[in-house]
Amino acid sequence: MEKIIFATHNKGKLIEMRAILAGLPVEIIDAEAAGIKEEPVEDCDTFEGNALKKASFVAERTGQWSVADDSGICIDVLDGRPGVHSARWAGEGVDLAEYTLAAMEDVPGDRRTARFVSCAAIVSPSGEHWTFTGQTEGCISDMLVGEAHPKLPYDRIFIPEGHSRSFAEMSMEEKNILSHRGRAFKELREWLEAYLTNKPKD
């Protein structure tokens, strides 16, 4: 395993993954760099299902190890929405953070609880797969705060539990320690370290 393709066209996610997996003897490239322009339809009803679908899509087309994640924000007062639809529930061209704040305009602070959930999946060239899940509890702010990383709009409105700053106000290093994606990929990193120690290179 000398290369892993991260099945995403989201540069913000790629930056996060490279930071979390830094130091491993594996090259991390995104789907576009691997020649994959298209993306599968994310039509599964779980984060795990979508992550596996994306990673399998790239692994099958490249013959390489592939990793994907699916993540979203689940807001209690909205019955868990937007959940797996976090990237598209507001409609085309609509600012997701602003849309979410508008949907919660009259919700008091003690009912603005939410959590970020992420599932990371890794798929081998032969189709074997493993999944890792991370979760971060917190709440939704009542205004946009900070500047989000590319294509990570909810960072401007999510304040992790026990903190007063949004994800968008934190450095990448701070966020990776606390974030759902950071926790899922930390488990993935531990699995990769064990795999690379005990397995011969592909």
Active site residues: 70
The secondary structure element, H or E, covering residue 5 is strand 3-6
| Residue 120, Cβ density class (10 Å: 0-12 exposed, 13-18 middle, ≥19 buried) | buried
**59, 63, 64, 65 alpha-carbon torsion, rounded to 10°:** 50
Other beta carbons within 10 angstroms of residue 157's beta carbon come to 28
**Whether residue 82 has a cis bond before it, omega within 30° of 0:** yes
